[in-house]
């Protein structure tokens, strides 16, 4: 494991690299997005067929942490997280369905659906959250983090996932949401997992501003999707699709999009 490494770099190309265990969410120079950058040369030293064999051997095994589709590909995700920092609920490894009848109806005979939401909290967000919370745990173990509080603005899935992984890690979670705009069903998971839920008199963007300010003051660790660690977990969707097609890429992938996090994640995975 030690030979592989990944760091934060500026998405727009500013010089400089930063450890993944640093609480950093934007480029210190241009304030743009960060991305996780892997040592591709080191990864290339292992042949494609050797990677395939390794990933197949680990696929959904009971041996910790390989019951997780994300950590079965750990060298490509977050190579420096030790086993005992990993917080996993066995995410990934979701079924890919041949949508035979729908494909026939719309004239796409070879149509498949990857059901990423078949996961512990019912959302694909678990794929990214396992990476984020595991890296936080590693940072806490290494003594490099000023806070233990995980925080996000959310109206649903993100808070459910963060609360579940925070609870599994034994870390406090704070969720900020716009008062009166979140359904009871969406509140159940954060509350059941013991998160502190704050209803603010603002909209989602207003909550997000508060989370950013709290993280700037180092009172919380920011778990929203501007944190590039989540992309690293979500990119395993692309790796799994290729694996499930016997290591061939599909011609097209169709994704729902909000802030295009999944588009970025699947691009990173296919690349």
Strand partners, 7: 19, 37
Residue 62 touching a copy of itself (CB under 8 A): yes
Q: Is 250 exposed, middle or buried (0-12, 13-18, 19+ CB in 10 A)?
A: middle
Residue 242 near residue 75, CB atoms below 8 Å: no
Q: Segment contacting a copy of itself (CB under 8 A): 3-11, 46-54, 221-229, 240-248? A: 240-248
Cα–Cα–Cα angle for 252, 257, 262, nearest 5°?
Answer: 70
Residue 134 touching a copy of itself (CB under 8 A): no
Cα–chain center distance at 243: 19
Site residues for a copy of itself, window 79-98 (CB under 8 A)?
89-90, 93-95, 97
How many of the other CB atoms lie within 10 Å of CB of 118?
14
Residue among 23 and 96 whose Cβ is closer to a copy of itself: 96
Alpha helix positions (H), 108-235: 125-142, 157-169, 184-192, 204-216, 229-234
Residue among 90 and 228 whose Cβ is closer to a copy of itself: 90
The correct pick among 18, 51, 118, 210 for binding a copy of itself (CB under 8 A) is 118
The correct pick among 3, 61, 217, 218 for binding a copy of itself (CB under 8 A) is 61
The correct pick among 6, 9, 67, 227 for binding a copy of itself (CB under 8 A) is 67
Residue among 38 and 73 whose Cβ is closer to a copy of itself: 73
Q: Which residues bind a copy of itself (CB under 8 A)?
A: 59-62, 67, 89-90, 93-95, 97, 101, 115, 118-120, 122, 170, 243-244, 246
């Amino acid at each position: 494991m030690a030979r592989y490494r990944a760091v934060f770099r500026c998405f727009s190309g500013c010089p400089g690299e930063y450890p993944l265990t640093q609480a950093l969410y934007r480029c210190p120079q241009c304030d743009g997005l960060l991305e996780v950058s892997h040592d591709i040369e080191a990864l290339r030293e292992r042949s494609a067929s050797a990677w395939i064999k390794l990933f197949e051997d680990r696929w959904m095994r009971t041996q910790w942490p390989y019951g997780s589709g994300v950590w079965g590909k750990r060298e490509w995700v977050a190579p420096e997280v030790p086993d005992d920092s990993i917080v996993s609920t066995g995410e990934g490894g979701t079924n890919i369905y041949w949508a035979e009848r729908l494909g026939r109806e719309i004239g796409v005979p070879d149509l498949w659906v990857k059901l990423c939401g078949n996961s512990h909290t019912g959302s694909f967000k678990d794929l990214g959250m396992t990476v984020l919370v595991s890296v936080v745990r590693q940072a806490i173990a290494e003594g490099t983090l000023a806070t233990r509080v995980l925080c996000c603005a959310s109206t649903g899935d993100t808070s459910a996932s963060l609360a579940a992984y925070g609870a599994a890690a034994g870390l406090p979670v704070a969720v900020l949401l716009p008062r009166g705009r979140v359904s009871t069903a969406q509140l159940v998971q954060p509350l059941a997992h013991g998160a502190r839920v704050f209803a603010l008199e603002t909209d989602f963007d207003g909550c997000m501003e508060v989370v950013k300010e709290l993280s700037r003051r180092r009172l919380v660790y920011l778990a929203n999707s501007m944190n590039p660690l989540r992309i690293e977990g979500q990119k395993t969707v692309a790796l799994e699709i290729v694996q499930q097609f016997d290591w061939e890429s599909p011609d097209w992938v169709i994704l729902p999009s909000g802030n295009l996090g999944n588009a970025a994640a699947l691009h990173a995975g296919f690349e």
